[in-house]
Structure 1
Amino acid sequence: MLLTTDAKVQYNCNSSEACSSPECKMGGPTRHGQHNKAHKAGRTAGLSARQKQRLGKEVVGPHRKPCKSGASQGGKLERIAAAKQIRDAKRNELISMKRRLAAPVVISVLPLSKSVDVSRLWDQLLSACKFQVAENGSEGREANEDRDICMEIDEVLGGLERKSEPLTMQTVTLPNKGRLRLTLLPPPSDRTDLMAVVDIGRAAEVLVLAVPGDSQCAVDEEGQAAVSVLRAMGLPSIVVAVQSSVTKGSNVTSMKERSASKKKAEEAIKSQIAGDHKMFHADTASDCQQLVRHLAEHPATVPVWRRQRPSLLVEGAEYRAGAEEGAVENSAAEPTGRLLLTGYIRCGGLSANQLIHIPGAGDFQIDRIEGIFEGGAHGSDRHGFGASKKGQGGRSSSAGGHAPRAGSGVGDGEGDSVMDVSDIGTTLLAQHDDEVREAVVRVNQADRDGEDGEQTWPSEQELLDVQTLIEGKRKKRNLPAGTSEYQAAWLLDDEEDGEEEEDEEEEEEEDNMVDSSGMNPEGRRGNQDDEVDEAPELHEMVDDEEAGSDTMALDEEAGDDAALYKELRSRHKQEQEQAQEEYPDEVDVPTDVPARVRFQKYRGLKSFRSSTWDSKEWLPAEYSRVFAFENFKRAHKRAKAAVERATAGLDPCAAAPGSLVVVHVVGVSASQAQVVLGRVPTSPSPHLSEPQASLPMSTGSPLVAFGLMQHEGKMSVLHGGIKKVASYSEPIRNKEQLLFVTGVRAFQSCPIFSADTPGDKQKMERFLLPGRHVIASMYAPISYGPLPFLAFKVMPQLQSTDIAGSAGLCKSNATQALMLAASGALRGCDPDRIMLKKITLTGYPTRVHKRRATVKFMFHNPDDIRWFRPVELYTKRGRRGRITDAIGTHGAMKCLFDCPVEQRDVVCMSLYKRAFPKWPKDLTFA
């Protein structure tokens, strides 16, 4: 109602009866006013009221529409039938999987202390597998049979004589477990061989950790090193076997002693491996039977990185020389042949079109895959060879065709390591397809004749000339009096290996400075390198109490000199690491070389986070030989899909997992075959250039060949996130040679360390400091994660031996000197990752007036000051400024800052240059 100023109406109607005046009909400020209808049919309305507004939509709610009794009864029966069908389908799938996956379960025994009697434990496990007790029948009869068999086992074990022969891989069939078979891997003959532990991590599906129960220290130093390696690689299923000491004349200890030993072992294992693990005693025959029963009944699990690619535990090998159809000749003049590998395919389907990696030998192509069926031992249906594949004709080779020889290492079900091949035939499972077969391509072949690229490729003659120039150049050294040529060579090696500020590119840069500046290239190094070269530094690093006088130390014998040199080098690296922590990235400008020439490849950045840096600018020549992905995740997804198709049986050129096969590997040289045959128990091959007796003896470590995923044989820039382990205390310098293990491969490389930070640019780290996560980048073949990333350091005493590549480490006793230095995981492959090397030039203010200051000792001439004038300055106390002008001719300069500067402050200037890894010398990556 609209009220005007001339309205003089008063409402005094207080009667309870209905008023007939028009004013009362209009309503007013009383309880007779306007009242709107409340909408109460919202959420609280019934189902029928809401259903009218749904216009025929399906009613979804707690209330179900009533149905007829006949339909309800039929729906219940249908649900029961559907649930039964799902249950039967799952049961049939499990049964078919058990029948299809016929590969024996790989059990590896690893003692964690030298107090463990490995021979006794090994004999007990083999006997327990042979006399495994059946679980059917009444309890009384089962107990009697168990007791009788245990007594028989005790008699057998008591009559066994300890032999000095090395333990070998055994494949046994459990008598009362149907078709279940176990492959027992012996422990390494040398407990300090960490590469043998890596091989166990590649092959084992169940790991039996043997610990002593009566020792104060259940896990010794070698056991801790082995557990740390396996923990970094990814642990399979773990079972702990506690072995107590056996008293003379009795094989049984008291229950109190057994309980105490089990508690000690449990505490020792928990300190090394997190989680609860099943523990068994391994003192008597019945204890070992319980252990074997657990191994047979519980499923084994392996790490994810092993499940995503096929593998082959090599149980037999044969080499046939001569180029055959499908073979790929090497670029070298050494002839190639065919290598036949026998074993079970595990974890995934193996395709004849993919590459196979053999540790110690390299990457090769597969010609074909043949299946083995054992005459009547287990039946042809066990391995799935009864029906031939479509398009392959189901051809079977003759007895003398491509069947494995005696000594192939495949168990016959009775505990033998070899099988009799008189009743063995083969059938063709997979043949490679030339159209989709992946070639062995390591580097990208750039167009060296074209002129489209920015970099030019040097000719062979130019490379030889540069090599001759480097070898012929001699550096003048200030050496102590009486230093021999042998000791002088050590100092030269120290300079080559210990340089930090001067990498290879800067050395070439300094060699080319002679033409531009006309100065002598000798002595053009920073103060840090001068400290390495000068003789007084050598005298300062020697302790008088340990080495006596300098003359006596330098006149010692070769062994004493080597120990002294090792100690001096270790101290020098520790001093450099400590200096890097106290004064990060700080360098001094040399006095004999202009700073604008010395740091001509460096540039300043306004902001390290937001400033742009072109990833395609000033690339080295090695980048023309690597491969890069447009989308790395998409390529990884396609590679995984190819392996899944082979595993599911959708690839006509693949063999299913669980098949006992003979893989024909082509393009293998005689030297590469020797590495493989030296690790597999086999008879001599007449096709080798040297007799088998000259090969290194097998150390008992298993040989596992991996099927590579798509593009995993091509070179790229590999990145892995690592962290220094607590047990390794020696400094690890940037670009220091390390042995890397990715699970599949093992190779030596000189990585470049960078910070593990977000952003498009990362700062290079000069040392791998303890407690920090860094990214190690190197040239290596493409690998798809998840993969472990382990870094080993070769001990200095064996670096003088002939260790040419990782293949030599795998087949020689040099692996005994390995120490785990860092561990982590693979991050990916990306050549465009920008790693910037940072240097910091420092100066000190001599005069300060509010925001203005006079700074000295940063440069040594006014030309350098004017050259670096655009670069921003900062102080360690957070002030920012710039160079205004140069003063005099000795390097003093005027600076202006945003806030008043203190006299005790330090003025800094940061310069950056992109760093690249070193190109490897050995491209086999075996």
Structure 2
Amino acid sequence: MGQGEKEGEREALALHCCYSQGLPATCHAIQGLEKLGTKQRNSAKKATQKTIETRFPGERLHTLDSLQDGGSVLRFISNQKRRAVVCRDMHPHLLAESTQFIPSKENEEVGTLEVSGYVRGRPLSVNGLLHIPGLGDFQMTQITAPPDPHPVKARLHRPPAVMDTGEEREGMAEEIKVVAVADPAKQESLDREVELDPMEGEQTWPTEEELAGAVSRLQTPPTGQPLRPSEARRVPRGTSDYQAAWIVADSEDEDEEEGSEGEEVPVDDESEMDTESVTYGDTEKYDAQFDMEAEEQQFELLRAERENAMFPDEVDTPQDTPARIRFQKYRGVKSFRTSPWHPRENLPRDYAKIFQFENFSRTKKRVLSQEDNEAALPGWYVTVQVKDVLKPQAEALDPLSKPLVVFGLLEHENKMSVVHFVLRRCDGSSAPVKSKERLVFHCGLRRFSASPVFSQHTTGDKQKYERFFPREGVCVATVFAPIGYPPQPVLVFKPVLDTHQLLAVGTLYKVDPDRVVCKRIVLSGHPFKIHKRSAVIRYMFFNRGMSSTIQ
């Protein structure tokens, strides 16, 4: 930002993201004041100081136009008290000063990546996993300690005349020491999910014949009129034939509207619809390439959000669909707060693939208190050898032009589970956000995309499902994600065209697959007669069979 310039959108977004992620101690400096006159110099310095005061109260602005100013800034930085960033300091990490890729003898496209730098945070264990942002999780083979290129105390016995000779390089090679070598028996596994065993569950999974019989029975409704085989329905992307048979062909069906974006396909279509083609036009030719269908979808989404805010959870009973089919996934309860609900009831099959803690708080305390006697301590200059790295991935890394920070993972942090985040929407986001919409999460040291389920942040054994991300207050977003230990800051972005828009900020709440999120619906009707203890409601049910189903 230039002298006297006001804070723009990009600067405000960058500062807001830095604030939400957590900032260490800061130092503020300004350059170019000597080129201005005395009056302009004072006004520019006051304007910059005012801008800093809005976000960094009490911070001092330094000038940096001469060597004396540089010395003053360095003395200020050296005497400044460090401000801890908990999420960063609880993990071992190092800022890469150099990287080197060594291809393997069997396959030149895969090899070992050597990353050199100073260890910060916690001690780095060779038996743990290493996370490289943008690449993923990797195992380490060994950690070595080469000579420190920037020692605090220079070696007086080393003459300057031989600093660049071959003898000196040979001496440095001899000084490389092996700090630790990975032990296959103790090394963390890269497995993210539990291998599914169909014979281990309490309930026998249906066979293919039973599933086919269920589909044939469901295709013949009680009215006796079978469905047409080529009847088009709106189904979520990736839905199987068996799942599609359970979806009611109703455009106003709120039960399936939270799924992924669907498209009109026949029920017997065997295509898996794994990909989706989206074309974005040039913003300068907006009128010529106006997408009416996309605008209509956005309008319908906005109308649904407003309707949900005015009439929360209210659903009209369809006249052409029996209530036992329309509401087959729901149960009648007397009280949402006091009615019992077992957290292990009717779990999806994917729950067998995730990890769960018996006591998450106790596990976190144990993991953070672990010590490895063979780990590289903070402050050491080390070279970490990362195995099984692809050559294109290694070539994309350039520590000189783009800083690279690698993180050591704590125990279980590469395992998948049900993770909950407490989020609050940013002021600049105005577009409606539906549950299960694809979003991008920046959580601590990780970045991933997921389709969160929103729910209320309340106490109790059940939390109410939110169809849309509320514009005010906080809510809980639940996703399948790698395990993390709080506190960790979270930034949520919404993909918009070819960029990402900051949607919400928050923190990691907990890792708990037993947190029950219930979707509530309230059947609506027109009051006909109201008595002291009862009422007669019209247009809630349209035949006797419907009313006897919902009890």
**What band does the TM-score fall into relative to the shorter chain?**
0.7 to 0.9
Q: Which of 452, 457, 474 in structure 2 is aligned with 1:773? A: 474
Alignment of 1:732-743 (within 5 A): 732-743=433-444
* Cα drift, residue 660 of structure 1: 1.3
Equivalence for 1:712:
413
Residues of 2 paired with 1:263 and 1:641: CA distance? Answer: 48
Residue 365 of structure 2: aligned partner: 637
Displacement, 1:422?
Answer: 6.8
For residue 342 of structure 1, report the CA deviation from its aligned partner.
1.4
Give 1:318's aligned residue.
100
- Residue number in structure 2 paired with 1:222: 10
Give the number of the structure with larger relative contact order, counting CA–CA contacts within 8 Å between residues 6 or more apart: 2
User: Residue in 1 aligned with 2:526?
Assistant: 844
Contact 2:96–2:399 at 8 Å: present in 1 too? no
**What residue in structure 2 maps to residue 591 of structure 1?**
319
Verify: 1:660 aligned to 2:381, yes or no: yes
Q: 1:529–1:721: structure 2 CA closer, same or farther, 3 Å change rule?
A: closer
Whole-angstrom CA distance in 2 between matches of 1:867 and 1:350? 60
Change (3 A) 1:621 1:380: farther
1:613 aligned residue: 341
Q: Which of residues 495, 519, 524 in structure 2 aligns to 1:794?
A: 495
State the shift of 1:865 in Å: 0.5
Higher helix share: 1
**Cross-structure match for 2:180:** 430
For residues 41-120 of structure 1, what are the structure 2 equivalents within 5 Å? Answer: 113=1, 116=2
The answer to whether the 8 A contact 1:322-1:338 is kept is yes
Cα 1:268–1:424 shift into 2, 3 Å: same
Paired position in structure 1 for 2:163 = none
Q: Which residue of 1 aligns with 2:224?
A: none
SS at match of 2:27: strand
| Identical amino acids, percent of aligned pairs | 32
CA distance in 2 between partners of 1:592 and 1:243 (Å): 73
Residue 524 of structure 1 deviates from its aligned partner by: 7.1
1:111-510 equivalences under 5 Å are 113=1, 116=2, 212=3, 214-215=4-5, 217=6, 219-244=7-32, 251-271=34-54, 273-322=55-104, 336-374=110-148, 424-425=172-173, 426-448=176-198, 450-454=199-203, 456=205, 476=232
Cα 1:352–1:381 change in 2 (3 A) is farther
Output one character per residue of 1:466-504: Cα deviation in whole Å (capped at 9) or x when no partner: 9xxxxxx97648xxxxxxxxxxxxxx8xx859xxxxx97
Displacement of 1:265 in angstroms is 1.7
- Specify the alignment match of 1:821 in structure 2: 503
Contact persistence 1:432–1:653 (CA under 8 A)? no
1:678-757 to 2 correspondence within 5 Å?
678-681=396-399, 700-757=401-458
The offset of 1:611, in angstroms, is 1.6
| Structure with the greater alpha carbon radius of gyration | 1
> Do the aligned partners of residues 504 and 275 (structure 1) sit closer, same or farther apart at CA in structure 2, a change above 3 Å counting?
farther
Residue 601 of structure 1: CA displacement? 1.4
CA contact (8 A) 2:316 2:525 kept: no
SS in 2 for 1:654: coil
Letter in 2 for 1:708: L
Q: CA deviation at 1:560?
A: 3.6
Kindly provide the CA deviation profile for residues 90-136 of structure 1, in whole angstroms up to 9, marking residues without a partner as x: xxxxxxxxxxxxxxxxxxxxxxx2xx3xxxxxxxxxxxxxxxxxxxx
Q: CA, structure 1 residues 714+846, in 2 after alignment: closer, same or farther (shift >3 Å)? A: same
Decide whether aligned partners of structure 1 residues 630 and 852 sit closer, same or farther in structure 2, where only a CA change above 3 A counts: closer
User: Does structure 1 conserve the Cα–Cα contact (< 8 Å) formed by 2:423 and 2:477?
Assistant: yes
Scaled by the length of structure 2, the TM-score of the pair is 0.81
After superposition, give the CA deviation of every residue in 1:186-227 in whole Å (9 maximum; x if it has no partner): xxxxxxxxxxxxxxxxxxxxxxxxxx2x33x1x211100000
Cα offsets for 1:498-518 (capped at 9, x unmatched): xxxxx979x9656147xxxxx
Q: Structure 1 residues 302, 256: CA separation in 2 closer, same or farther (over 3 Å shift)?
A: farther
Query: C-alpha separation between the residues in 2 aligned to 1:377 and 1:854?
Result: 85
Q: Cα distance 1:527–1:760, how it changes in 2: closer, same or farther (>3 A)? A: closer
Q: 1:568 maps to which residue?
A: 296
In structure 1, how many angstroms separate the alpha carbons of the residues matched to 2:150 and 2:452?
54
Report how far residue 320 of structure 1 moved.
2.4
Paired amino acid for 1:777: T
Q: Matched residues in 2 for 1:768 and 1:346: separation?
A: 38
Shift of 1:846: 2.3
Return closer, same or farther for 1:262/1:591 CA change in 2, 3 Å cut-off: same
Q: Which moved more, 1:339-348 or 1:738-747?
A: 339-348
Alpha carbons 1:238, 1:278 under 8 Å: kept: no
Residue correspondence of structure 1 range 852-867 to structure 2 within 5 A: 852-867=534-549
1:861 Cα deviation from its structure 2 partner = 1.5
What is the one-letter code of the residue matched to 1:856?
R
1:601 maps to: 329
Alignment of 1:543-558 (within 5 A): none
SS at match of 1:655: coil
The separation in 2 between residues aligned to 1:298 and 1:371, in whole angstroms, is 30
* Unaligned ranges ≥5, structure 2: 157-167, 216-228, 263-284
CA change 1:625–1:269 in 2 (3 A) is: same
Q: Secondary structure at the match of 1:237?
A: coil
Q: How far did residue 784 of structure 1 move?
A: 0.5
Deviation at 1:526, TM superposition (A): 2.9
Q: Cα deviation per residue 1:47-94 (whole Å; 9 max; x = unaligned)?
A: xxxxxxxxxxxxxxxxxxxxxxxxxxxxxxxxxxxxxxxxxxxxxxxx
Partners of 1:581 and 1:524 in 2: CA distance: 20
Question: Quick one: structure 1 residues 746 and 423, their matched pair in 2 at CA, closer, same or farther if it must change by over 3 Å?
Answer: farther
**Equivalent-residue separation in structure 2 for 1:266 and 1:565 (angstroms):** 49
Deviation at residue 828 of structure 1 after TM alignment: 1.3
Contact 1:443–1:714 at 8 Å: present in 2 too? Answer: yes
Cα-Cα RMSD: 3.5
Question: What letter matches 2:136 in structure 1?
Answer: G
**What is the deviation of 1:235?**
1.0
Contact 2:101 2:394 in 1 (8 A): no
Q: CA deviation at 1:755?
A: 0.5
**Distance (whole Å) between structure 1 residues aligned to residue 206 and residue 99 of structure 2:** 42
Is the contact made by 2:527 and 2:536 (CA closer than 8 Å) also made in structure 1? yes
Question: CA distance change for structure 1 residues 719 and 323 in 2, over 3 Å: closer, same or farther?
Answer: farther
TM-score norm. by structure 1 comes to 0.50
Q: In 2, distance between residues paired with 1:857 and 1:704? A: 62
Q: Secondary structure at the match of 2:459?
A: coil
User: Retained in 1: the 8 A contact 2:148–2:381?
Assistant: no
The one-letter amino acid of 2:64's match is A
